[in-house]
Chains A and B, each alone.
Chain A
Amino acid sequence: AQSVTQPDARVTVSEGASLQLRCKYSYSGTPYLFWYVQYQRQGLQLLLKYYSGDPVVQGVNGFEAEFSKSDSSFHLRKASVHWSDSAVYFCAASPYTGNYKYVFGAGTRLKVIA
């Protein structure tokens, strides 16, 4: 069965520190991989996505993610977090076409402290 696992439900980091949010996927075929962010009282917004090519993909607001086929992972990173990065982050996978088979992880709640 297709699945996306985010092993960390909550992560707390200090402002200015580096960040890694983990994501592991189990998916037949070659999926699109995504990271979305949800700020409080808002819908989800795309941070970045990956399908092929360079395994390190750049996103908005200084985020990047690295794909590893051998490890079935798609971890999100940021070199220096800001308090405004506090939000819930979702990793997701979908087939090349046909969005109705989107699979979301359970989300990681990030809290950035001063």
Chain B
Amino acid sequence: ETAVFQTPNYHVTQVGNEVSFNCKQTLGHDTMYWYKQDSKKLLKIMFSYNNKQLIVNETVPRRFSPQSSDKAHLNLRIKSVEPEDSAVYLCASSSYWGQNTLYFGAGTRLSVL
């Protein structure tokens, strides 16, 4: 049963446009993440939020900005997309004291033309 919801499923856009992705979790978790998965399936953590506080910001380009209104929601905005941003963006959540299991959404597939 899906408990981490991501919208949209797919997004096609052109270089230079702004895009936003949404993520919501209904598991009551206190930590949420954005991962980028490239075409070779490699996973790279981008951001992590614990109770609305940014606790990790790996070296991603400044055009990426996470936003969290509460611990159940985590959005990702890309201000001016580049071709290398084409990827699947996976949202995940976990409980800080919950034996570290990550729960993933189905992902948002971004294609930059």
Contact = CB atoms under 8 A, between A and B. Distances in A.
Contacts of B41: 38, 88, 106-107, 109
B81 to A, nearest CB: 21
B42 A100 contact: no
Interface in B90-112: 90, 92, 94, 96-97, 99-107
Interface residues of B, number: 25
24 contacts: A32-B99, A34-B100, A34-B101, A42-B106, A43-B4, A43-B104, A43-B105, A43-B107, A44-B92, A45-B104, A46-B103, A49-B99, A88-B41, A90-B43, A97-B100, A99-B31, A99-B33, A99-B100, A102-B45, A104-B43, A106-B41, A107-B42, A107-B43, A109-B41
Contacts of B96: 97-99
A48 to B, nearest CB: 10
The 3 A-B residue pairs with the shortest CB-CB distance, nearest first, are A43-B104, A100-B56, A100-B48
Contacts of A42: 106-107
Contacts of B104: 43-45
Nearest to A44: B104
A94 interface: yes
B87 to A, nearest CB: 14
Interface of A: 32, 34, 36, 38, 41-46, 49, 51, 88, 90, 94-100, 102, 104, 106-107, 109
A41 B2 CA distance: 14
B15 interface: no
A51 to B, nearest CB: 7
Which interface residue of B90, B94, B104 has the most chain A CB atoms within 10 A?
B104
B27 interface: no
A102 B106 contact: no
Contacts of B55: 100
Given A43-B107, A88-B41, A107-B41, A99 B99 contact: no
Interface in B65-103: 90, 92, 94, 96-97, 99-103
A106 B90 CA distance: 16
Contacts of B106: 41-43
Given A34-B101, A43-B107, A46-B101, A100 B90 contact: no
